[in-house]
A and B are shown apart, each in its own frame.
Chain A
Amino acid sequence: DQQVKQNSPSLSVQEGRISILNCDYTNSMFDYFLWYKKYPAEGPTFLISISSIKDKNEDGRFTVFLNKSAKHLSLHIVPSQPGDSAVYFCAAKPGGGNKLTFGTGTQLKVEL
């Protein structure tokens, strides 16, 4: 049972345009959400997070949006840069918990 789903395995975007990566979850106990970025042969690195008490968190070019009623979150990257090309994982954890449940990842390719 996949509790965190990333339905798009890949996404291709032109440099300078917006990248939108989507994530859906099914467990209503999740209350903290994170995005990790992973380059080949490296471990995932933390990118941005959002608590369920918010619906938006922004950090530079990266913004995460949370729609609790739809159990959906998205990561927006504006403007997209070639160095953003990586696999992006959505993750979630329940309140008071520490185990992260990850999605299967979306491979983003930013083309020149």
Chain B
Amino acid sequence: GAGVSQSPSNKVTEKGKDVELRCDPISGHTALYWYRQSLGQGLEFLIYFQGNSAPDKSGLPSDRFSAERTGGSVSTLTIQRTQQEDSAVYLCASSLAGWEETQYFGPGTRLLVL
């Protein structure tokens, strides 16, 4: 596809359940980022993948959050034992290379934890 795609677009889950969010970056983009936007907040960096390098996980808020990137393309963000404060829009972005300033964002996944 032409842009970054994310699925699902919306997810409602119960507290304590695990959720998986998917991101398909732009073809050929080696860098992939996950952000989240909580209500009334700016975008908060979560994790960054660049090629085959070890990911930068410095933004993950707790060990309930993890992410994988398979084959240097698709990425999955997993939240275990979800809490109500995890409710947010989770945004994925990709760029040509780690130093490339322009990050292209997907439409996001709106997660609501009841």
Q: Which residues of A contact B (CB under 8 A)?
A: 2, 4, 6, 32, 34, 36, 41-46, 49, 89, 91, 93, 96, 98-105
Contacts of B107 in A (CB 8 A): 41-43
Checking B31, B42, B50, B59 against A105 with a beta-carbon cut-off of 8 angstroms, the contacting residue is B42
Contacts of B59 in A (CB 8 A): 99
In the bound complex, do residue A98 and residue B99 qualify as a contact, i.e. CB atoms below 8 Å apart? yes
Q: Which residues of B contact A (CB under 8 A)?
A: 4, 31, 33, 35, 40-45, 48, 50, 56, 58-59, 91, 93, 95, 98-99, 101-108
Among residues of B, the one whose C-beta sits closest to the C-beta of A101 is B45
In the bound complex, do residue A98 and residue B98 qualify as a contact, i.e. CB atoms below 8 Å apart? yes
In the bound complex, do residue B42 and residue A4 qualify as a contact, i.e. CB atoms below 8 Å apart? yes
What is the CA–CA distance of A93 and B95 in the complex, to the nearest angstrom?
15
